[in-house]
Each structure stands twice: as structure tokens, then as C-alpha cells.
A and B are shown apart, each in its own frame.
Chain A
Amino acid sequence: MRFAQVHKVASYILAVLGLVALGAGGELQGVSALLLTAGVLASWFAEGELLQSERYHRAWNVAVVLAFFAQVGRSLFLDAPMLTATVEFAAFLQLLKLATRRTARDYQQITVLALLHLIAATVLGGGLSYALCFLGFVIATPWAMTLGHLRREIEGNYLADARAGRAGVPIDVARILRSRRVVSAGLLVGSSLLSVPIFVLTAMVFVLFPRIGIGVLSLRQQRGQVVSGLGTTVDLQGHGVIRNDPTIVLRVEPLVQPANPPLIRPFRLRGSTFDTYDGRRWTRTPFPGQDNIPVERQSDRYALARFPVTDQDTALRLVLDPLEPPVVLLPEGTVGLLIEPRLERGIPRYMSLTQDVDDRVHYANADDVGLVYTAFAPTSNALPARRRRPSAEQLRLYTRVPPDLSPEVRALAQRVTAGARSPQEKARAVERYLSTYRYTLRLESGGAERPLEDFLFRSHAGHCEYFSTAMAVLLRTVDVPTRNVTGFLGGTYNRYGRFYAIHQGDAHSWVEVYDPHGGWVTFDPTPPAGEAPVVHTGFFSEVDAVVEALRLRWRTYVVGFDLSTQTRLAVRLWRFFEARRGRTDLDHAARGFQRARTRLTDAPARVPWRSLAFGALVLGVGAFALRRFWQDRGERATPELPPSAREARRLALCLDAALARRGHLRPPSQSPLRFAAEVERRGDPAGPLAVRVAERYTEARFGDAPLGPGELEALTRELAQLPEITKETAQPL
């Protein structure tokens, strides 16, 4: 291929990868993304005379200024997000460079902009898309940079030859750029293979670089995906369609897996509860003083009902995507959690958990990493965790029904629960009754003025919210305290990632019934057909599974990589190498690592000023030493002067000394000739001699007229004969 073509392709690949990485965070969407794509495509065809046209370049310069002011105007007056406007402008700059690429410098700027886009994308997010772009960068960066360098050298050297009339025929740069001999297949393959060591080195730096996390200035965004049902209200007239949403919210990894894990394993994950139903929507009543109670913590363990016992309780590891609101989804019967701290600003940051009066658990300091935690539940033969008992005030809330509730509902409840005595019996009766209803995703009662009544007496069909609402309200009419619970029910096995994926579509709703003797008991009136997780099959679902597994790995091993993981990795490596060496006494070293890790993660939360000061001192000393080294190196690198220049320099030194004796000190910024002229202008009798000597020095040093034999000595003698002048008589310059 021709050099220019290969270089163009490589630069475009890099530029597009940078733009995709930039847009993967979601800031480039809709019209801007379309315009950008069209612009990049059109810029590919800008060639030849068009690129050389000054008018064309001027038009682009005007366009970039207009774009700048347009983005500023959009942010200030049209309420466009500043971040979006900035990202769009950054993308436009790349488009500008692509459309006006003319010389090696332009191509270099394309490469630099692409790298800056990649860097900017690190704070914009992008998940697996970013990972793919990064991989592309690993491959394409050596191409673009190597070819860019060669092009610069071609333009610099051969143009210089032509200008300076050097040896040989002036070589046409365009002809070399059209040449097929410069870029051989070997160069392309070689630079492609460079991606392997680059990848390995990148991985090494990534793994080995200590994760300190000073956090003086953090620009990380706190964004999570909004999950229906976990907010402050649940509207019966909404939802339904999320059943088919395949977006993954949570991944569940049982720590003990059977050899052939079942494809479907329904995990019930509790999120929020609601106590008040007004006839259309559920709301939750805050209880100041009883909500947001910090969860008790010991090191990395949190006690919801009690602290987990790791060797007795059943454990599930959960990887939760960032959620809005940040609710900790808890498997049934969870008594405690284990959450490893993150090191930020050089200190361990433990997740702050709070618990509400209805046992809902929140996590604070949410960020774009989400939450990884291990939930512990008692084994099947142990007593399950009990939820906290409601107060009298709460009991009143849990039995309150809408004031305009239809009498038919009360009558139905009476009829269904007739003969049942305890709350649990009544609940089972209602559950049995509702099982005759039909599950549907269509909002058949959604448009009704009274959706619950419509569901119970007309449509007899609805989604989980209708079933749970119906059960809760029916039981409340017969004085059984209930609350509506939202969360997730599902779990589809991903054999590539060895985890169960919980999707948005697995959002579910059920009921908790309060029995004064047994506490809160969970009932799920939704028919089984509606509870069953949606299983997708086929080629695309397999691809989805692979992508999802990759996403989890990316998130676990790249995005979530921290100092704790590093120490764990170090322990593993240590064990691995020691085992290869045949050493069996590994516990000592492992304990040492563990102690160091514990010391690090359990350190009190304060800024390590001493360490920072020491680090700054080391950096300062290092910078000083480096500067000295470069200075010395520069002096050493000064080429040795030829004898004639050395003699000239000696003459200048003699002149300086002679003038200094007469009270004239030459500042370093002044040349000997200028200084001598200044001395003469002041009226010093030595002025003419100084000027003559300075002129001779200048000729000998820079004018290819070296000092003749004996000339240096003669001039020095003349200078030495100048009488000394005392300070009193000297005229300061």
C-alpha cells in the first residue's frame, strides 16, 4: 500500500476509536452522534486540491469558533449539560483535524486528540465499549505513531534538502508519500505485533502500580441506572413493559456451585417496602429517628441481624451495578454482609450502610463502580433471620386502606378469608384465591380510575404489582398488617461467567404479612408463570451471555481493581511461586501479607500527612537530582571547541579581567564587544583598546579569522599593561 494511504487509514482508525470511547459514556447521542458520523465519513473524501485550499481551511477555522460559541450558548441559555457540550466540542475538534489534515503535524494532532479522547473517556464511563476501544488503541496506536513519525521525517528531511540545496536532487515529498516501498507488509505486521508487548506491559503496569488513591481532586461521576420499584413510589398505572428489559442489574455468584448449575435459579432479592396505598400508587412513610440507622460494622463485616459467621452461613457474592436509589438488594434471610473497603486518598474507605425501620438497606458514597458484597444467610436448618417488629404507629399504617376503597373489596376479602383464623392462614387463603388470576404484561387495568378494583372484578389479569397490591389491600381490610415489597426475583445462569444474572426484567413485587407470633412472613401471590425468569435462547442470547461475562470480568478485574485485590494477587503469586519451588511452609508469608493488608485496611481514617510529606520530599530531591544530572549532562555534551576558538575565549577572559581591574564588571548578558563599546562611551582611556580586543575576539571566535601566532600573547600583554583603577575613581556602568 502507499504510505499516505496506510497512514490515513491508521489515523482514522485511531480517531474513530477515540470518538467511540468518548461517546460510549452516553454524552454523544442523537443528532450530534449522527452529524459527527456523517462528518467523519465526509472528511475521508477530502483530498487533493481541496485540502490545499486556503479558503477551505479558513472556513473550518470559522466553523470551530462558531461551534465553540454555540456550545457555550447552549450551556448557558438552553440548559444543555456542560459536560455534553464539552464532549461534543471535543469531538468536533477531531472532526476539524480529520477534515483539514494536510501535513504530518495535522496527523500528529489527530493522534494526540484521539489519545486525549481516550483519557477523557475514563471519567465518562462506557463499560465494555471502552474496553474494546482501548484494545483497538493498543493495536492502532503503534501504527499511527510510527507512520506519523516517518511522515514527519520525510517532510522535514526531504523538504529541507530541497530548500537548502543539499546534495543530490531535491526529492519530491509527495512522491515518497505515494511510494509503496516505504511501508512494507513487514512494517505493518511488525507494528501490529507490537500490540502484544504493549498489551503485556500495560497489564503489568496496571497490576503492579500501587493503588494509592490520594483523591485531592476527584471528577468521578455518580450515576446509576434507575431501577423501577426501588424509589419512593410505585404507580400501578406504570411498569409492565420492563419485564422484557434485558439490562443486567445484579450478578449473583454462589460461592459453592454444583457441577452442573441449573439454568434458572430464582433468587428473591429484597429492595424497598411501601406502607401506604392511596388507590393508585404505593408510597413509603418516612420515620424520622428510626430510619437511616447506621448498620453496625466490624472491619469489613456488617450486622443486619447479626454478624455473619463465614464458615457456617451460606454465602452469595453479589455484584451490583450502580443503582438509583442506592439500595442494597438482599437475598432472602440475609443476616449480615461482608463488603471489602476501597482505598481512597491513601486511607481505607468502608461502605456506609444504613438501615430503615422496614429493614431496607442503603449504601452511601455511591459511585460509578456500584457495590460488590457477600450476603450471608443461615443454613436451612438454622433459624431464619427475623425482621424487626413494627411499632403500634407502624401497625396502624400497615393496616390502613384507601378511604375510597370499594366496599366490594372488603366483601371479597371477608369472603376469601372466611374460616381462616391466624394472619398467615388468611394470607394463604388470599394467595390461593389470587392464583386463579392471570398474569399479563399488558396494562389491562392501567387506564382504569380504580386500577385495583378493575383488576379484582373486571380484568382478572395484571402484573406482579397488581397481585401484590391486591393481596396487601385485601388482607388489610381484614386487619392483617401487610406491606408491599419490591425487588427482584430471577436468575439466569451465565456459563461463560459462572454467575446468575438478574435483569431489569426480573423486577418483582410481593407481600410481607405481619404475624404477631411469627413476625414478618413473605407471600408471593403472583402466579408462577409470571415469576418465572424470561429465558432467551439462540445465537444472539449466547453472544449476550459472552458479552455479559466479559463485562463482569472487566468490571471485576479492571474497574474494581484496588489495593486489596493487589495484595490478594500478591499472596496468590507468592503461593504459586513458592509451591513451584517446592516450599510448603507458606502460611508464614501469607500471614505476613494478610497482616499488612489488615493493617492497611483497618488503619484509622485520617490523611497520612507524614507519608505525603515524605513522598513530596523524595519527589523534590529526585527532581533536584534529575535537574543537576541534566545540567551536567548538557555541559558534558557541549562539543569541544577547536583550538582557535579556545584561544579566542582566553582573549575574552583576559579582556574581562583587565576591565574588571578598572572597575568594569561585564554582566553575563552583554557581549564583550558591546561591553567594550560601553566602556569606551563612558570615556575610559582603556576603551579603544578594549574595543579593538573585543573586535578581534569576535572575528576569531565567530568570523573564521583565527588569532595569528603570537597575537594572543601580544594582545594579552597590552591588556596587562592597562593601569588598575581604584574604586573611587572608577565610573560605574
Chain B
Amino acid sequence: MKDARWVHYAKRVYWRMRGSWSWVLSPPRKLRVTREGKVFLGVTIGVGLAAVNTGNNLLYLVLGLLLSLVTLSGVLSEIALRGLDFRRRLPRRAFAGVPALVEIEVHNRKRYAPSYSIEVEDRVEGRRTDKRCYFLKISAGARQTAAYRRVAPVRGVERYRSLRVATRFPFGLFEKWREVTLPEDQLVFPYPRPAERRSSVARVLGDLVTHEERGHGEVDGVRDLVDGDPVRDIHWPKTAAMDKVVARERRREGARLVRIEVPNRAPSEPAGLKDFTVRLEDDIRRAAFVALDALRQGAQVQLLAQDAPAEGPRGLLARPSTHAADRVLAFLARLPPLPAGPEDPDARGP
């Protein structure tokens, strides 16, 4: 039996809309009414009610003006958000608790229309960062870069997931935003904390090499300048030739192996749990300081976790080299706390 005409149209509309529900329920753009927008909408609703109440056509005219401004606001904000490419530049090194610059570059791919008033905010671990980058105007075809200071609260891998790109252009009545997926991981190093030479928290085995006197030791080569290197160690001719700051690396006859153990297993008694996390972080920071100090003095560093984590090595042997400091810091950054329990007899060595 053939459907009535209105049934036929209703079915067509239904089938067309069916695929669109997901879009309706989870639109690519999200909208928030700003404080000014609430006032504006309030005035609009008031004018609408007054117009309906009084039948005053001039009020209908004003209502039309206000509604058209709302509509245009949606169109223009959409134009502002479209055609933008984003790139995030993470800092080469980031330390927990220390501000680091994160750069956001925006490229306006549109041929004619500039984008005004764009606000970009990073989402780390699914949470919005409290800092954001603001771009007042990105001309058509232009690129602009802005940076914000990010303070990673803890060491470890910080997962940048997406950017929240928002605009309140053109009238500031609504904030429209979209999510731009831009996954990137940043390994956050523990910030080295000065420790006594024979620290109880980072048990240093072997002898620490004392600071060399100036001019002592045979020059073995050059390496990247690391934090703490004295300026006098900079090899200026090589620095000029290699276009990066390098320092002399000296062979030390008295170089020793510095072994650092970090206790990363939680105590079995509940009373000790409270302080464990804080103490572990403190140990790791001190270990980082000792290790870097040792490397700077030309010693080899052996880092050992008290217990092997489920993934990754238990320890690390670092010889003084260009990337030794980064390796040490990366190991310490990834070192997880382990739950209380018997020591693992199959703990892997470095």
C-alpha cells in the first residue's frame, strides 16, 4: 500500500536525519554563552516578549536585528575557526615544577579571510592547562607563533592530547570551540635537587670524583655543554665550527664508577605509605643531582632501582658523553614506584 504523501516525506526526513543524530549530539563545534552573550540574549528575549505582547512592529524590527546579529555571530565565528592548522613545539627538556615554554604555531590556510581572536589551549592528560595562547589576528595565508609557560607538576610522561581552539569573535556573545587532535608526549625530568655527597636517600657507592682543577686532565674530545659545566670548559673554536655550544671532555684518570640506588618499593606497613611517595620523589631528585654532578666530573654513573619495574630496565650505566645526562634523567623520569611486597628475585640488571 502506498504511503500518504506526508508519511512519505516524514520517512525521508527521518532517514536523512538518522545519520545526523550523532553529529547533533556530538557536534564538531561546541558553544558557550559568555556573560555578555547572556545579557544580549536576555535583551533579545525581552524585546521578543515585548514585541509579541504589544504587537509593536518597531520592536519586531529590533528583534530581527538582534537575532540576525546572533546568527551572523555563528557564521563569522565558524569562518574564524575554519582553515587553521596547528603545530605544537614542546621544549627539548622539561623539568617537573620548572616552567618550560610550549610553542603553538597557527597557520591560516584561508586565501582571503583573516582569523581574528583565536585562543588556543592545550589539553594535557585530558585536562585543560591553565595557560593559553591568544592570537589577535592571523592574516590570510600567514603563520603565527605564540608560547605559553607550562609547569609540569610531576616527572614522567606528560601526554599532550589535543588543542582546544576557541574564538569569541566577532561580538563576544558566544565562545565557540573545537578540539584539534594533536597527540604528543613530553618526558618530564625530575628537577635535580642538591644532595649531600653521602646522601642517605641516594646511596652512592664507590668514590665520587672530586672536581678537577683547571687545566688538569687530557682533553679527550668535545661534547655538548650540560648544565653545570663551567664556562671555562667551553671549546670556543669547535663551538664556532659546529654552531652549537660544546665543552671540552677530559679524560680523567681517577674516574670512578658512581653507583646510585633508588629505593622505589613502598613499605609494607600502612603507616609508612603516606610519606613514601613524597620521599621517593625527593630521592629521585637527589639522585638526579648526584648523577649529573658525577657525570660532569667525568665519572661513570650506574643507576639502580631497588626493584625492577614491570616494564623497562631496572638500572642504567651512563658514561660521560653528550647524551648521558639526558639518559640518566629519562631513566629517573620513568622510574615508577612499586607496591609493597616481596622483592623480585628476578630483578634485571642494567
Contacts and interface: CB of A to CB of B under 8 A. Distances in A.
Interface in B272-318: 273-274, 276-278, 280
Contacts, number: 203
B8 to A, nearest CB: 19
Contacts of B83: none
Contacts of B123: 639
A194 B268 CA distance: 70
A641 B128 CA distance: 11
Interface residues of B, number: 66
Contact of A134 (B53, B65, B146, B172): B65
B59 interface: yes
Contacts of B276: 708, 711
B148 A166 contact: yes
A153 B63 contact: no
B154 A704 contact: yes
B62 A711 contact: no
Contact of A206 (B30, B61, B274): B61
Given A152-B172, A198-B69, A709-B337, A642 B126 contact: yes
Interface string A182-211: 101011000100100110111111100101
Nearest to B127: A639
A605 to B, nearest CB: 15
A3 to B, nearest CB: 10
A625 B161 CA distance: 33
A158 B146 CA distance: 12
A640 interface: yes
A149 B117 contact: yes
A217 interface: yes
Interface stretch (A421-429, A480-488, A556-564): A556-564
Given A150-B136, A709-B338, A710-B273, A203 B266 contact: no
B111 to A, nearest CB: 13
A83 B258 CA distance: 90
Contacts of B54: 123, 213, 215, 217-220
Given A149-B170, A154-B136, A642 B57 contact: no
A168 interface: yes
Interface in A143-168: 145-146, 148-150, 152-154, 157-158, 166-168
A642 B136 contact: no
Contact of A108 (B36, B59, B146): B36
Interface in A601-635: none
B7 interface: no
A522 B71 CA distance: 61
Nearest to B70: A201
Interface residues of A, number: 83
A639 B164 CA distance: 12
A211 B116 contact: no
Chain A CB within 10 Å, residue with most, of B127, B153, B273, B339: B273
A119 B286 CA distance: 69
Contact of A204 (B64, B72, B266, B278): B64
Contacts of B278: 705
A214 B276 CA distance: 71
A202 B61 contact: yes
Given A118-B62, A705-B278, A214 B52 contact: yes
A640 B71 CA distance: 32
B206 to A, nearest CB: 30
B146 A168 contact: yes
Contact of A705 (B47, B76, B137, B277): B277
Interface string A542-563: 0000000000000000111110
A616 to B, nearest CB: 13
B51 to A, nearest CB: 8
A578 interface: no
B72 A134 contact: no
A642 B127 contact: yes
A187 B115 CA distance: 11
Interface in A472-516: none
Contacts of A181: 137
B101 interface: yes
Given A153-B136, A215-B54, A218-B54, A206 B337 contact: no
B59 A718 contact: no
A397 B126 CA distance: 96
Contacts of A201: 64, 67-68, 71-72
Contacts of A198: 65, 68-69, 72
Interface in B234-269: 266
Nearest to B125: A642
B169 to A, nearest CB: 7
B89 interface: no
Contacts of A718: 270
Contacts of B67: 201-202, 205
A711 B266 contact: yes
B131 to A, nearest CB: 7
B117 A145 contact: no
Nearest to B54: A218
A213 B55 contact: yes
A717 B270 CA distance: 10
Contacts of B63: 205-206, 209
B340 interface: yes
Contacts of A412: none
A205 B277 contact: no
A36 B146 CA distance: 46
Contact of A149 (B68, B146, B169, B341): B169
A305 interface: no
Contacts of A168: 146-147
B143 interface: no
B136 A559 contact: no
Chain B CB within 10 Å, residue with most, of A203, A704, A711: A711
Contact of B148 (A138, A167, A182): A167
B10 interface: no
B55 A344 contact: yes
A112 B47 CA distance: 14
Contacts of A385: none
B86 interface: no
Contacts of A696: 274
Contact of B273 (A118, A217, A560, A714): A714
Given A145-B171, A709-B340, A640 B59 contact: no
A182 B43 contact: no
A364 interface: no
Contacts of B116: 150, 187
A322 to B, nearest CB: 15
Interface string B122-144: 01011110010010110000000
B22 interface: no
Nearest to A368: B56
Contacts of B62: 118-119, 122, 134
Contacts of A206: 57, 60-61, 63-64
Contacts of A343: 55
A396 B64 CA distance: 60
B261 to A, nearest CB: 19
B277 to A, nearest CB: 4
Contacts of B172: 145, 148-149, 152-153
B270 A714 contact: yes
15 contacts: A116-B43, A119-B43, A119-B47, A119-B59, A122-B62, A137-B65, A145-B170, A145-B171, A166-B149, A167-B149, A187-B116, A202-B68, A211-B60, A216-B53, A561-B57
Given A148-B171, A216-B53, A559-B58, 8 more contacts: A158-B134, A167-B146, A167-B148, A205-B63, A561-B60, A637-B30, A711-B276, A717-B270
Interface of A: 108, 112, 115-116, 118-119, 121-123, 130, 134, 137-138, 141-142, 145-146, 148-150, 152-154, 157-158, 166-168, 176, 181-182, 184, 186-187, 191, 194, 197-198, 200-206, 209, 211-220, 342-344, 558-562, 637, 639-642, 692, 696, 704-711, 714-715, 717-718
* CB-based closest 4 A-B pairs: A213-B55, A201-B68, A205-B64, A709-B339
